[in-house]
Structure 1
Amino acid sequence: MAPMSSKIPMSRPSLDHIIQKNESQVLESKTQQFCKQYTSLPATEKLEILKELAQKHDFDLESAKNAAESFVSHKDKNIAVQLKAAERLKASLNPSYAQIFSRIRKLEGGVKFLVDLRADLMNMLPNSNINDDSTPHLKALNNYLKDILSFSFNVGFLKLERITWDSSCFMLEKISEYEAVHPVRNWTDIKHRVGPYRRCYVFIHSSMPREPIVVLHTALTNEISSNIMSIVRQTKVQTETDQKFTLPETLEDPRKIQAAIFYSITSTQKGLHGIELGNQLIKKVVREVQAEFPHIKQFSTLSPIPSFREWLLLELRKIKNDNSVILSYFTEREKKEMEQIFNCDMHDVWFSLHQAIISNRWISDEDLKELLRIPLLKICAHYLLKEKRRANVLNSVAHFHLRNGAVLWRLNWAGDTSPRGLDNSCGIMVNYRYYIDETEENSRNYVENYHVAASDEVKDLLAPVFSKSSL
């Protein structure tokens, strides 16, 4: 086979060779060859293939127009004639590339190819260089791929599998590589995360048996956790009979297990973005844990708050124009104390605070850290509950769990003081609690009425503070 190069026109796989409607072994072979060639192409060549696919092999506008006119003209005819006209209209709107995708799905590895193809497309769409006539067609292609993949990855086609230290090294390595929330450091770390008092579950698809589709890490604890370090960092404990430090116990004591904490959920395939699988995985894992430990009643996440610090820094920059929502969450006393800590007047306090947060210097200043605790918790509660995008909460993780029917239950100060935790949310973490009997109603209320279910503890943080002079 000739090497792939944009200088050799014949190296690009031909779509015309596989767009035919008939089925044959020759056509199957050509489809396999197309997939193999496409996979080896550089991104620029892939983009050209996708543009050709989206534009040249979309549905025919003229045929669709004629079918639509025919459908309208038959509106006064009997129902059989109307239905036949509707079928012709429906068929005219079916893109030609539907035949290609249908043929690819039947190939070994074909479903994974389509997942990766959509991932390529999603990587290319935000690129301003393709903001031309092809963009609407590429977006339509993306939507079509999402629809057919949604069917292929319906929860009924997925298998729930628990990962343990006895699972294959290949799968354990995959779990480690895909972990996006709390990176795995080494083999000892992953052994801890699939060991005693831990549960790791994945969704597996029959067409991608060696690929975990979604990964959910769960900790079995005696209470709802407030700090991630107690979960993801293996600690040593001192026994009563021995002054040496030993590793944690290897056998689980069910009496010590009163809560299940979902501390990391990762969708591993970008090509499946927008296809809701994580919520189904959580529901299935809840049932698995309840079957194993019927006495457990507390189900909660310990979640990061990505982008909170970024939003906070933007609000701090707005203060100079007196249009920031965060001003009301600082008392006059707190403002005066910041003047003393930063050794500046109020005019420069907010710039100094901005610099301290952007550099993470504040976390090592105990006085400033304690001073900021209440104001930042209040501001974070505002961010999670009040900042919206199209009536939904702005934060993507909050949106995911609230849509699943969880309750915004508790904010945890210094829940994650790692560099990643500080960069995400100034170290604050949040518990979204799943009350099993209420999740369906909470989910419906959020989706239909945009109502955020929150505990009184979180809602109480929203009360702005006022100085006496402002009353």
Structure 2
Amino acid sequence: MLHRESLFDRTFAPLRRALFGASESEQPNTELHESGVEKLKQRIDDCLDRRGGEVSARTGAAELGHLYLDLGPEGRRRFLLLLATDYGVDRDRMDAAMVALQALEPDADSGKAERELRAALIARRVALFRQFNALPQGVKFLVDMRAEIISMMREVPELRPLNDDLRELLTSWFDIGFLNLQRITWDAPAALLEKFMAYEAVHEIRSWDDLKNRLDSDRRCFAFFHPRMPDEPLIFVEVALVSGMADNVQELLDLHAPEGDPGKADTAIFYSISNAQAGLAQVSFGDFLIKRVVDELRAELPNLKTFATLSPVPGFRGWLTGMLQETEVSPWELSLDAALVETTGAENGRAALSALLARDDWHRDEGISTAVRAVLEPLAARYLLTEKRGKRALDPVENFHLSNGARLERINWLGDTSRNGLDGAAGLMVNYLYKLADIEQNHEAYRGRGKITAAAAVRKLLKT
């Protein structure tokens, strides 16, 4: 966030009194009264019109940043709504630019008119965002502001255009080419290790021993940083150095498993990729993020020959729930053992499967597990290979790895039997294979045509 003890603090007190309606000795009203909104609008206009010059505009932007930080929840909502509703595209300017472009003779130079039209199509608030960017920790300020916008959008849908503009701007600043890759070790600063523990979003780090295990010699952890946010990790990537392709995350994270020799490992397993900044949700870092880590690993450990993930399937149970509510009889129902249907007392296969998956220990019963596997693996293949949103895979993790050039290699039964793993994907996990010679080809096929490259064993499941 913006530092409170800056040279701009001396100029902020009068603005606070004007907008909050409080004297220096009073506790300010941090929710912005109506007259405060009008005065805030005047301040924003002054920044955008650069009255007083560039230095004055940046000083004003710093004041507005401090103001936002001091506001309460309702005040921030009003601040953001003002930006969303009053500082969009200048339609008069846009209309004038379109008329000017259309009025040109066919053989006239249209460059200037086209530039004016492009500029006119940019919302006015974007210029304010750029002024924030020029301030110390301004990028972090905008990232955190967007996190708050995202949290409000369900109740305040009017903020969506504001979110879209900010996401587009951040995407242009956070391309993979601008990011620094850094290995995280046990010797890293305590503050960074604490952030690693807090931000791990795939497999919770339960203790300092668990953390140390993930940073042992047969493990690698990397973080991406932006030069304008040098103390704030953006993404954590956790890697296990093993022999052969891992199929079970509990075994991979076992604290009591013997430490492996990284010099003898032939496979790097990417088992956790966590976004550390909520404000960067849906902001693409480019399509070759994993390849950047692969290149780093190959340089250090030339003995590594295989690069693959052990990934969750976070959308599967939600999709499956919808499947189980269908009214038509599906072929997979016929493969569910009739004895299991009778055991659950359910009237049909869908109800039986729902009842079985609702049990906490269903996966520990070999008979039940075997019968459920015969149903769920083909359904998982269908979900991963055919269910899409437009040209993109419906599952967000799958979409990420296919965009990065991976191949859908294997579906692993009971790959994650933690509570989260069972609730999210009935224990299923997936290996995505990064075959170096095919990464760019796979990426182009998926991005261009929506083609999902998958191993024959996965495609075969569709026919079972």
TM-score category by the smaller chain?
0.7 to 0.9
Contact 1:4 1:11 (C-alpha < 8 Å) held by counterparts:
no
- My pick for the range that moved more, 17-26 or 142-151, is 17-26
Q: Does 1:214 align with 2:235?
A: yes
Q: Secondary structure at the match of 1:210?
A: coil
Q: Distance in 1 between matches of 2:339 and 2:436?
A: 44
Q: Which residue matches 1:374?
A: 374
Choose from 172, 176, 181 the match for 2:193: 172
Moved more, 272-281 or 388-397: 272-281
* Corresponding residue number in structure 1 for 2:173: 152
In the TM superposition, residue 400 of structure 1 has moved relative to its aligned partner by 1.1
Residue number among 19, 28, 37 corresponding to 1:3 in the alignment: 28
Q: Please, which moves more after superposition, 185-194 or 42-51?
A: 42-51
1:107 aligns with 2:135: yes
SS of the equivalent of 1:377 reads: helix
For 1:315, the equivalent position in structure 2 comes to 323
Query: Alignment partner of 1:437: what SS?
Result: helix
Q: Distance in 1 between matches of 2:363 and 2:422?
A: 9
Percent sequence identity is 33
Give the superposition deviation at 1:358.
2.7
Contact 1:403–1:443 at 8 Å: present in 2 too? yes
1:437 is aligned to 437
Structure 2 residue corresponding to 1:258, chosen from 258, 266, 271: 266
User: What residue is the counterpart of 1:298 in the other structure?
Assistant: 306
Sort the Cα spacing of 1:311 and 1:99 in 2 relative to 1 into closer, same or farther, 3 A.
closer
CA deviation digits over 1:300-353, x for unaligned, max 9? 0000111212222221222xx215xxx323555x432323433x47x3443233
Whichever residue aligns with residue 259 of structure 1, its letter is T
Matched residue count:
434
| 1:254–1:340 CA distance, 2 compared to 1 (3 A) | same
Aligned with 1:54: secondary structure?
helix
Determine the C-alpha separation between the residues in 2 that align with 1:352 and 1:393. 29
Report how far residue 442 of structure 1 moved. Answer: 0.9
Contact 1:21-1:99 at 8 Å conserved across structures? no
Could you tell me how far apart the structure 1 residues matched to 2:363 and 2:105 are?
71
Structure 2: distance between partners of 1:98 and 1:336? 61
- Determine if contact 2:409/2:454 at 8 Å carries over to the other structure: yes
CA distance in 2, matches of 1:422, 1:371: 16
Indicate yes or no: 2:71 matched with 1:71: no
Q: Which runs of 5+ in 2 are unaligned?
A: 1-12, 14-26
Once the 2 structures are TM-superposed, how far is the Cα of residue 253 of structure 1 from its aligned partner? 4.8
Q: TM-score, normalised by structure 2?
A: 0.87
Task: Tell me: CA distance 1:100–1:373, structure 2 relative to 1, closer, same or farther (3 Å).
Answer: same
> What code does the residue aligned with 2:48 have?
I
Q: Which residue identity does 1:337 align to in structure 2?
A: A
Instruction: Pick one of 273, 285, 298 that aligns with 1:277.
Output: 285
**What is the Cα deviation at residue 291 of structure 1?**
0.7
CA distance in 1: counterparts of 2:406 and 2:270, whole angstroms? 12
Map 1:27-426 to 2 at 5 A: 27-76=57-106, 78-79=108-109, 82-127=110-155, 130-131=156-157, 135=158, 138-236=159-257, 248-249=258-259, 252-255=261-264, 257-277=265-285, 279-318=287-326, 321-322=327-328, 327-331=330-334, 334-342=336-344, 344=345, 347-426=347-426
Distance 1:267 1:352, change over 3 A: same
Q: Mark the CA change 1:424 to 1:363 in structure 2 (over 3 Å): closer, same or farther.
A: same
Q: Report how far residue 77 of structure 1 moved.
A: 5.4
Distance 1:11 1:207 in 2: 32
Deviates more, 1:419-428 or 1:440-449: 440-449
Amino acid at match of 2:321: L
Residues in 1 aligned to 2:32 and 2:86: alpha-carbon distance in whole angstroms: 22
**Residues 419-460 of structure 1, C-alpha deviations (whole Å, 9 max, x = no match):** 111001111111011111001111111122221111111111
Matched residue, 2:40: 14
Partner SS state of residue 246, structure 2: coil
**354 and 199 in structure 1: CA distance in 2 versus 1, 3 angstrom threshold:** same
Separation in structure 2 between the aligned mates of residue 163 and residue 7 of structure 1, nearest angstrom: 43
Deviations 1:113-163 (A, max 9, x none): 111122222222232xx34xxx3xx43332322222122222232111000
What does residue 17 of structure 2 align with?
none
Partners of 1:24 and 1:78 in 2: how far apart? Answer: 35
Over aligned residues, Cα RMSD in angstroms?
2.2
Residues 254 and 439 (structure 1), Cα distance of their counterparts in 2 relative to 1, 3 Å cut: same
Q: Secondary structure at the match of 1:177?
A: helix
CA contact (8 A) 2:334 2:349 kept: no
TM-score by length of 1: 0.86
Give the aligned residue type for 1:220.
L
